[in-house]
Structure 1
Amino acid sequence: MYFLSWVKEPAAPVLSRRGGWRIKGDVWLAGAWERRLVSSLVRKYFNLDPGFENDLVVFHRVPSWSGEVDYAFGFHAHALRLGVAYYSVKEGWSLSPTGALASLLESQGAQACDVGFAGHLKGKRVELPEECAASSNMVLLRMGGYVGVARRTGGGGRFKVKDAAPRGFRKLAQGGAEDVVRANQQVLRESVREAKGFIMKAYRSIQGSGKAAVSFSGGADSTATLSLAAEALGPGKVVAVYSDTGLEFPESLRYAEQVASRLGVELVVLEPSARVVDLVGEKGLMSVDDRWCTRILKLEPLRKFYSNSGLKLYFDGARDYESFGRAKTPRLGYNPLIPGVTRALPIKKWPRLLVQAYLYSVKTPLNPLYDQGFTRIGCVACPAMHLYELHLSFSKHRGIHEELAKAAGVSMGDYLRMRWSTREPG
């Protein structure tokens, strides 16, 4: 279990084993697209640019609270919990701000309506004058020494105060990647030592000699696992195995080649035995409930590779914070579709922020797709994508998605509204 807090000079998030905000969902440093997103949402609701594009902003995954909401995350910056952003099929991106964000925005010059009451009105309904209520369905309120955010609840000037905080919150001096590494030195040192010890023990007891493999997708988790394995065993004893399903982002394969070269490890790229479009025409679109794509395009080439290579062990970057299913996966175990090879998970307990801090500490850049808004580095049409990621992918690789929709016999409108879990129209 990890907790999140901040150092303030300069501002940087800190992970620890005790004290601070308890991390329940995954937590990570927002990429460039994600920072622009929260800034644009603030501008949309409050007509003020908060300038988060260049700040350290921490996101944490929160559960979706209705069938309409496909994806939701909370965000923190400047040692403040600022709100929740969420994506729905009907409305796109929306924002639920906290009182802390209201206080920060007022300090930056955002207009707040004075309700003439010096007290904390969270949860109360208020009637606002026309000049305050006409501009938006969400407004900032000044309540003596407090400032809060209120949402319209009916016609006219009726609003409900959603949250409030003391006035005067301001931005802190901004930290960078080096400050994140410095602030997390202790947890990094302990976590890296434990992971490398686990890697060496698994190698000695299972592989014994020769090379061990790392399942490498080009995502942050597999990149960190590959780097840790190269540190623990030496680059000459590590082979990075990249499974090209035929739907990979071009950026990912280029990134994988660059990282393997930088680390000095062997890179093996496996190719699929069938075309994705042909399989979609035969089986329909892949989904979380039916990941035939993983079985046929990824695991089958991996099974053949391992059966021919003689390797007995591979390391994988799967983490508990990714999903409930992965949290149940044993740290040492087997994938039944890759028989005879042990699967080992060195960073199983790490939150993504720790993965990022480790990669910063060893000067390894992240896959550029993270700065383009993707939280998961998989295929162009991965069934595990959130709906907004599918829409981002469509904007980058429209032709591939049109081929898949045509092969499946569905319209592009239905394709882009499909629920990520079942691929049925939402």
Structure 2
Amino acid sequence: MSGRKPFEEALDHIFWCDACNVPLITDVCGACGGPARAVQLSPPGDVRFCSPFERDILHRLLTDMYGADPIGDRLVLLNKIPGDDKTDEVIVDGRTLAVMAYDLVKQGYVLDLRPDGAKVLMPHATKKIVNVDVPREKHLNGKGLSGSCVTGSTPDVKAGDVVLLKVSESFNGLGVARVDADRLANPVENTLKVRKIGSSKVRLNDRVATMADAVEANRKRLQSMEADAISVIRGVAGQHKNLPVTVSFSGGKDSLVVFNIARKAVNKLKAFFVDTGLEFPETSEFVERFAHDTGVEITVQRAGDAFDQNFPAFGPPAKDFRWCCKVCKLGPITSLLNNSKGVITIDGKRRYESFQRGHIGTVERNPFVPGQIGVFPVKDWRAIEVWLYIYMEKLPYNPLYDLGFERIGCWLCPAALQAEYVRMKDLHPDRFDEWQGRLHQWAKASGLSPEYVDLGFWRWKAHPPKMLNVAREKGLSLKPRAGTGMSLSMIKGISPCTAGGYSLEGVLSSGKWPEPDALKEMLKTIGTPSYSEDLDVMLLRAGKGTSKMFAGGQIYASSDDRAYAQRLFGDTVRQVLRAALCSKCKICVKACNRRAIRIDGYLRVDESKCNRCGKCTRACVIARYYDKLTGNKENYPKSIS
């Protein structure tokens, strides 16, 4: 499994019926019965319909840049492709006309034409046009053209613009201007670079189809996909007849579809919605309205102020540090689904959504919620199939999709695109300003610049190349001031002890050292602790070694076994962090099938039941993000268990 690429089995195409002018999810049109042509998609191929908000952006870009928008009321598809932020191929009438993307540096949308887009635009455009005189028989694609070939241009051309190259009505293409309009005709320099130019013609289909046309052309295939999903749900429910069936309803499009399918699959069905405390108002209102209109009870489990309580210790969440998901979502879920017999949960996760979900199975047991069997009946559906199903079933959906959001989650989610985060500012400026102010306070305390927040760098702990490039371009430092936040500094790495064996020593710097009683209880999960009040030191005896913890942050571990000493040190640090930062989410309580843990002011361990299996540590968000919290690069094994 580890050697597979997340999207290696993903579809790289859809189909298009030119007779009906609609996209298809199979190679035969369900409306006219005719064959369809394949339309290639860049991976991962999670193509979707363009929302009204995105259509407005596309219209503005086309008219601002080229003075025309020939697309009109046609169906427009967007295919998400890799990019620095929100980046989509624009597909109209089964042809890729352009790439529309959000530029992190410019903090706005940009449009990059493709050859078919240039040819469609040429008869209508009034801007960004350069007339050239070149021999038609000469191969020019990818070549530079000197100003001597330029016979005229519109005055709005600027260096770096993607321009329309026109030789005649039947011979044209696109290129990139290397200079402004007033220098294009300079005969002593190459002022243009040709991308593609030729005599092929591209025109839009005479037929303008509607969404209803698209649904009818795909109805048979959608009904077949629904039947398959129903079979999956019934199959799992049949194997576990004693378990209740629930639906995880997030208020998003995917959970909407699985909810509708699950209602057809089983008679007794319960739905739940986890209110993280960070939901968009539109989402909360939609869930409430949906429950009322459908007459189905949707249990709402609230996280309350869990995020606010944990922010001082953890700082802002990040794409690679999603502590918020466990505290605000998984914690409430474990409390809600606390059923000793287990539970079946129908979930709308799809493998096309992200690399992390690229390998999800149809049925999986949740490692963090004991007894929960997750069923993912639409895991192989693409976004276009989800939307076609919604339109076919006439399901009401979250209005945020029409307002510029591709996916629905928490309004401050670091995993959201920067383009969507900026969109949040337009819709809810008060919440946006409050969160920005909080981020700016955190950045200032950490010695980071305001631009660190404004450009979205807070959304990563370890910044990807695209953000490192932006930082270099802006001249920004990404390193917090020394002494801020939490860190683990090694005084001495693994080394032989003078008395024999091996030892490690480090200092954990944090704003909060745990109370001795809380730390002592946490350490019981890995060994036998004892505390000296006079010396203010905690001693832990664990299997083949010992560790010591001093209130000043010094941590020492030793063992006759070199590898064990390393593991013991890492595990000791994890328990110190767990004791100091415990959010009382109770995930560890649910993870312990021996019922050896309870929360009473702080975590307490029943040593007569605890077998030190390590499940509670592996389930803990703090232990999971140990390296992110401390900045420690040492790769210590996860547990001595």
TM-score in terms of structure 1 length: 0.90
**1:23-422 correspondence to structure 2 within 5 Å:** 23=41, 24-25=43-44, 26-52=46-72, 54-64=73-83, 69-91=84-106, 92-110=108-126, 112-117=129-134, 118=136, 121-126=140-145, 127=147, 129=150, 131-132=152-153, 134-136=155-157, 137-144=161-168, 145-154=170-179, 156-157=183-184, 158-164=191-197, 166-206=200-240, 208-209=241-242, 211-234=244-267, 237-308=268-339, 312-408=343-439, 409-410=442-443, 413-419=451-457, 420-422=459-461
Partner deviation per Cα, 1:289-317 (whole Å, 9 max, x = no partner):
11111000011000010015965110111
Displacement after TM superposition at 1:186 (Å): 3.4
Task: Deviation per CA, 1:304-340: give whole Å up to 9, x if none.
Answer: 1001596511011111111111012222112222111
In 1, the alpha carbon distance for the partners of 2:460 and 2:196 equals 33
- The DSSP-based 3-state class of the residue aligned with 1:325 is coil
Q: Structure with the greater relative contact order (CA < 8 A, sep ≥ 6): 1 or 2?
A: 1
1-structure distance, mates of 2:93, 2:259: 32
Contact 1:27/1:60 (<8 A) preserved: yes
The structural deviation recorded for 1:143 is 3.7
* Structure 2 partner of 1:8: 18
Deviation at 1:140, TM superposition (A): 1.1
Q: Give unmatched runs, 5+ long, in structure 2.
A: 1-9, 28-35, 185-190, 445-449, 472-641
**What's the offset of the Cα at 1:198?**
0.5
Q: Secondary structure at the match of 1:108?
A: coil
Letter in 1 for 2:78: F
Q: 2:38 aligns with which of 15, 20, 43?
A: 20
Instruction: Name which of structure 1's ranges 97-106 and 111-120 shifts more when overlaid on structure 2.
Output: 111-120
Q: Does the aligned pair in 1 maintain the 2:132–2:152 contact within 8 Å?
A: no
- Tell me, yes or no, if the aligned pair for 1:196 and 1:231 is still in contact at 8 Å: yes
Aligned length: 418
Task: Give, as a single letter, the amino acid of the residue that structure 2 aligns with 1:7.
Answer: C
- Tell me, yes or no, if the aligned pair for 1:62 and 1:73 is still in contact at 8 Å: yes
Alpha-carbon distance, 1:263 to partner: 3.8
**RMSD, aligned α-carbons:** 2.5
| Off by >4 Å, runs of 4+ in structure 1 | 109-112, 308-311, 423-426
Q: Which moved more, 1:299-308 or 1:256-265?
A: 256-265
Report which stretch shifted further, 94-103 or 256-265: 256-265
Letter in 1 for 2:178: T
Contact persistence 1:132–1:139 (CA under 8 A): no
C-alpha contact 2:48 2:384 (8 A) present in aligned 1: yes
Q: Is the 8 A contact 2:99 2:111 kept in 1?
A: yes
State the Cα distance separating 1:402 from its structure 2 match: 3.2
TM-score for the superposition, normalised by structure 2: 0.61
Residue deviations 1:20-57 (CA, integer Å, cap 9, x gap): 134432110010011111121112221223354x3311
Q: Which runs of 5+ in 1 are unaligned?
A: none
Residue type of the alignment partner of 2:452: D
Q: Deviations over 1:64-89 (max 9, x none)?
A: 2xxxx223110101222111112222
Residues 275 and 291 of structure 1, relative CA distance in 2, 3 Å threshold: same
The answer to whether the 8 Å contact 2:321/2:460 transfers is no
Percent identity of equivalent pairs: 27
1:207-259 CA distance string (max 9 Å, x none): x157411111111111111111011114xx22221111111011112222333
The 8 Å contact of residues 244 and 343 in structure 2, kept in 1 or not, is answered as no
| 2:210 alignment partner AA | G
Structure 1 range deviating more: 300-309 or 136-145: 136-145
Specify the alignment match of 2:511 in structure 1.
Answer: none
Q: In the TM superposition, what is the alpha-carbon distance from 1:164 to its structure 2 partner?
A: 4.3
Matched-pair contact (CA < 8 Å) for 1:98–1:164: no
Corresponding residue SS for 2:86:
strand
Alpha-carbon distance between aligned partners in 2 of 1:338 and 1:422, rounded to the nearest angstrom: 27
> What whole-Å deviation, never above 9, does each CA across 1:100-142 have from its counterpart, x for those lacking one?
1112112335464442343674323223537416422232122
Higher helix share: 1
Tell me, what secondary structure is at the counterpart of 1:190?
helix
Letter in 1 for 2:25: L
**Partner SS for 2:317:** coil
Q: Report if the CA contact (8 A) 2:133-2:151 is conserved.
A: no
Inter-partner Cα distance in structure 1 for 2:97 and 2:178: 22
Q: Secondary structure at the match of 1:358?
A: helix
Partner SS, residue 381 of structure 1:
coil
- Hey, what's the Cα distance between the residues in 1 that align with 2:396 and 2:175? 41
Structure 1 residues 421 and 90: alpha-carbon distance in aligned structure 2, compared to 1, 3 A threshold:
same
2:636 equivalent in structure 1: none
Report the secondary structure of 2:214's partner residue.
Answer: helix
Change (3 A) 1:192 1:253: same
Q: Could you say what secondary structure the match of 1:269 adopts?
A: strand
Assess, with a 3 A threshold, how the Cα gap between structure 1 residues 130 and 379 changes in structure 2: closer, same or farther: farther
